Amino acid sequence: MTTHSTDRSFLDWPFLEDHHRTLAADLDTWATRTLPAIVDAPGAHDDVDTTCRTLVKALGDGGWLRYAVPKAYGGMFDTLDVRSLCLIRETLARHSGLADFAFAMQGLGSGAITLAGSDAIRSAYLPAVAAGEKIAAFALTEPEAGSDVASLSSTLKEAGGEWSLSGEKTYISNGGIADFYCVFARSEDAPGARGLSAVVVDADTPGLEIAERIDVMAPHPLARLFFQGCHVSADNLLGPRGGGFKLAMATLDIFRSTVGAAALGFARRALAEALERTRSRQLFGAPLATLPITQERLAEMALDIDASALLIYRAAWTKDSGAQRVTREAAMAKLYATDQAQQVIDKALQMFGGMGVTKGVKVEELYREIRALRIYEGASEVQKLVIARQLLAGEQ
């Protein structure tokens, strides 16, 4: 069991409250005790479907998924507390990328239901998400529409008082193991962002097919989905017709800061690994840590980690303090924390020399884990556009 002690002084920042400090400590203890038996079990990395199902169940049993849904439906708080979500993702990512993934997808995958589902739909899905009994997924991206969300071409057509869903979605996390998908598709004649709506679709709906499983550099359940005339009840509509783009963006507004938090967890773990290695590795007759260039790099890593943490907990606190939207703050947090975590992890890996690129060594795993975070939920370039547009519109 590894302890990988990391700086905890950020927990005393005024952005956080006492219950956050308790949460961070309790989850760290739980993760240290519970996760190794799941994520380090023989074959755990090869069979990510089984590992993720086990993780969702364990997170549900531990009560942690209650933070992913509102109180009225088995959750912890009246509305999602972004600081708690960030602390949980940061802590889990420090222990295991897959554990963070399993937690994050329960929140992101059910986020549109939390924000816009009817009471009946919320009651049907959210308590099961909180208990770890239903696995959630968020299906927005299409083969021809990733960064350009407004160009989605999947269709939702009204037919006899219900919806018929057709089209293709790709790079869908939890694709293949999810019990339901929140799907965004074009329901109206209106062009671009105005014509989209969202529905919840059960995984066993006839016409829904897992067309392809996608194998990525840091494996987790991921798939391309095919919908062919899937019948979806009118009750499964999330929010108003034509409100799908706004709903997708509002969902991402909450979870974008948490992607930064996961990156921060990876970066903290990389720094902890680097400190341990450079203290013990003897080079030129002294520990690697005594060399000035090593110290310069360690200082840069610590600085980037603190700057990322400030942006993340600023964004989370702003949202929790009642801001309707935190588009700029969340974009800055996600952009900076994911880009800097990549640098921090790269520096840590370099300090390990040949061992750093060896399979099974933590920094090698972190190097693979961090990469996708700079792409999904809005690539770094998209975040820059978002920030610049807000500046130019005077909405700072």
Ligand X SMILES: Cc1cc2nc3c(=O)[nH]c(=O)nc-3n(C[C@H](O)[C@H](O)[C@H](O)COP(=O)(O)OP(=O)(O)OC[C@H]3O[C@@H](n4cnc5c(N)ncnc54)[C@H](O)[C@@H]3O)c2cc1C
Q: Of the listed pieces 34-42, 51-59, 346-354, 371-379, which binds ligand X according to CB under 6 A?
A: 371-379
Cα 114 versus chain centre, distance: 16
* SS3 assignment for 254-277: HHHHHHHHHHHHHHHHHHHHHHHH
Q: Least separation, in Å, of the C-beta of 279 and ligand X?
A: 34
When asked if residue 216 is in the footprint of ligand X (CB under 6 A), the reply is yes
Q: Of the listed pieces 91-99, 237-245, 266-274, 379-387, which binds ligand X according to CB under 6 A?
A: 379-387
When asked if residue 296 is in the footprint of ligand X (CB under 6 A), the reply is no
Question: What contacts 140, CB < 8 A, 6 or more positions away?
Answer: 149, 152, 169, 184, 248
Q: Least separation, in Å, of the C-beta of 9 and ligand X?
A: 32
Member of 11, 291, 375, 387 binding ligand X (CB under 6 A): 375
Is 133 noted as a catalytic residue in this protein? no
**DSSP state letters, 103-157:** HHHHHHHHHHHHHH--HHHHHHHHHHHHHTSS-EEEE--BTTBSS-GGG---EEE
Cα–Cα distance measured from residue 199 to residue 234, given in angstroms and rounded to the nearest whole number: 9
When asked if residue 146 is in the footprint of ligand X (CB under 6 A), the reply is yes
When asked if residue 73 is in the footprint of ligand X (CB under 6 A), the reply is no
Tokens of 160: 């006899």
Q: Which is nearer to ligand X, 74 or 97 (CB)?
A: 97
Cα–Cα distance measured from residue 68 to residue 105, given in angstroms and rounded to the nearest whole number: 9
When asked if residue 150 is in the footprint of ligand X (CB under 6 A), the reply is no
Residue type, 174: N
User: Do residues 245 and 238 lie in contact, with contact meaning Cβ atoms separated by under 8 Å?
Assistant: no
When asked if residue 355 is in the footprint of ligand X (CB under 6 A), the reply is no
Of residues 90, 168, 365, 377, which has the active-site annotation? 377
When asked if residue 237 is in the footprint of ligand X (CB under 6 A), the reply is no
When asked if residue 138 is in the footprint of ligand X (CB under 6 A), the reply is yes
When asked if residue 172 is in the footprint of ligand X (CB under 6 A), the reply is yes
Q: Of the listed pieces 11-19, 167-175, 185-193, 355-363, which binds ligand X according to CB under 6 A?
A: 167-175
Question: What contacts 228, CB < 8 A, 6 or more positions away?
Answer: 166, 207, 209
Cα–Cα distance measured from residue 48 to residue 57, given in angstroms and rounded to the nearest whole number: 14
Q: Which is nearer to ligand X, 140 or 326 (CB)?
A: 140
Burial class for 205, CB neighbours closer than 10 Å (0-12, 13-18, 19+): middle
Q: Of the listed pieces 47-55, 150-158, 263-271, 376-384, which binds ligand X according to CB under 6 A?
A: 376-384
Q: Least separation, in Å, of the C-beta of 379 and ligand X?
A: 4
When asked if residue 139 is in the footprint of ligand X (CB under 6 A), the reply is yes
Please tell me the count of residues contacting ligand X according to CB under 6 A.
19
Member of 173, 258, 318, 338 binding ligand X (CB under 6 A): 173
Q: Least separation, in Å, of the C-beta of 380 and ligand X?
A: 7
Task: Using DSSP bridges, classify how beta strands 286-287 and 282-283 pair: parallel, antiparallel or unpaired.
Answer: antiparallel
When asked if residue 103 is in the footprint of ligand X (CB under 6 A), the reply is no
Contacts with ligand X, residue ranges (CB under 6 A): 138-141, 146-147, 171-173, 216, 222, 372, 375-377, 379, 381-382, 385
Catalytic machinery residues: 377
